[in-house]
Amino acid sequence: MRGLESNPLLLKEVIKSQVEGKVGHEGRMRAASDWHARRKPIGCGLTIHPGIGCPLQCAYCYIYDMGFEAYATPYSLSGDQLTLALLYNRYFVPGPWGTYLAFGSVTEPLLPNIAGKTLEYMKSIALNLGNPCQVATKIPASDDLLDRIKSIRGLRLSILVTITSLRKYRALEEKASEPMERFEFIRRVRRKGFKPFLFWRPFLPGLPLEEIEEMVCEAKRSGAYGVVVGGLRLSHNIVKRLVGRGMDLRLLKSIVDLDRLKKGFVDVKIGDKEVEEVRSLVTAKGMIFLRRACCANTASQVLEGFEDAICPSLCFLSKRACDPSCPSKCYNKALRYPHHVDVESVVSYVLRTKSFHIEQQGVTLVVETSKRTCDVKWASSVLTQVLRRKVVFKLH
Ligand code: SF4
Ligand code: SF4
């Protein structure tokens, strides 16, 4: 493999100077000082904020504890400034084999006053970078908006539609659309050619089995390719809101030590029994069951025909995280030596030396070198993303 395409890190330098030329001095300053230039990727990828704050005020939402407002403001950067901020981020890798980009996180990305910014960011990312993107939403957007998203050339987009409960939604998501409208939205999303998944996050403790069965049936009926489940994040305020809206305090006490909440957030994992219940119902209906949003992004790409896609978070290293119903089979793909990039060129760029030896051991690439890497965390994060393999350094 030759040329810049074979080394996304070299390509990053070239794209950066091109985009710098487009945004001017002030745009460069704004991009350099923005959080998108500094955040590290988390499980679902690097979070993209097309807005901040949210008026929907779901009872379980943690953004208000983080200081965000109950109204949404479009983010101040333009599309190209956002792209440049990402290119200034040392953890970010551009391209289809680069960092996953997850829209939302501190807002609802398809809110009427935020959707324009979301579109603007998607356009600039697709044009300049080509990274796989993901949007998680509970807004049943119009067909017109879906058409505009679909028409963005080169955009790889995974769409997750969040639904948490069929019976308690009024108490939990007072200002969001009704779940059946969201299922109808999944149907429309699929009709437009996307590969939608039901995002069942947070999966609330104590949901009765009949409701779980109903949710899975509706997901199947709506045409969702699969279901992604995720846990609940609790804070002192969230517990107060949940209890105020009818959740059983004894149930919460039985799963989490409420005294620990005074110190911040506690992530409540879904019980093994519930996970297995949902998993068996989902897979029995021929759908894909996933535990992580990044896997839905990867699976969507595979369903779109990008069969080589491998999850950059390396979820396949954990049997618990990686489900056999997923069509991606990342582990098997990772057993092969990477051919999507020039491995030697990428490793040499990161280590700043040509003196190393690479040996593949299963899904791990062992990089033997005499040069001590000055920032092992950065080197390993970047190489893991680019190579889609576990990378281990060995000094000799
Ligand atoms: S829609 Fe999302 S961001 Fe808005 S309140 Fe609900 S969970 Fe929070
Ligand atoms: S094969 Fe495993 S790691 Fe890969 S996307 Fe599917 S669940 Fe995730």
SS3 sequence of 55-123: CCCCCCCCCCCCCCCCCCEECCCCHHHHHHHHHHCCCCCCCCCCCCEEECCCCCCCCCCCHHHHHHHHH
Q: Residue 241 CA: which ligand is closest?
A: 1
What residue owns the CA closest to ligand 2's atom 2?
322
Q: How far apart are CA 318 and CA 332, in angstroms?
A: 13
Q: Identify the pLDDT of residue 319.
A: 83
- Cβ(294)–Cβ(100) below 8 Å: yes
Is 1's pLDDT higher than 70? Answer: no
What are 330-373's pLDDT values in tens digits?
999 999 999 999 999 999 999 988 889 999 999 999 999 887 77
pLDDT-derived band of residue 118, with 50, 70 and 90 as boundaries? very high
Is 175's pLDDT higher than 60? Answer: yes
59 C-beta closer than 6 A to ligand 2 = no
43 C-beta closer than 6 A to ligand 2 = no
Cβ neighbours, 10 Å, residue 305? 7
Q: Residue 175 CA: which ligand is closest?
A: 1
Q: What is the position in ligand 1's atom list of the atom closest to the CA of 63?
A: 8
CA distance to 181, 207, 228, 232, 269, per residue, from 242 (Å): 23, 14, 22, 11, 17
For the chain, the distance separating the N- and C-terminal CA atoms, rounded to the nearest angstrom, is: 29
- The DSSP secondary structure of 123-148, one letter per residue, reads HHHHHHT---EEEEE-S---HHHHHH
362 phi and psi angles, rounded to 5 deg: 65, -125
Amino acid identity, residue 345?
A: S
Q: What is the position in ligand 2's atom list of the atom closest to the CA of 299?
A: 5
More confident residue, 229 or 264: 229
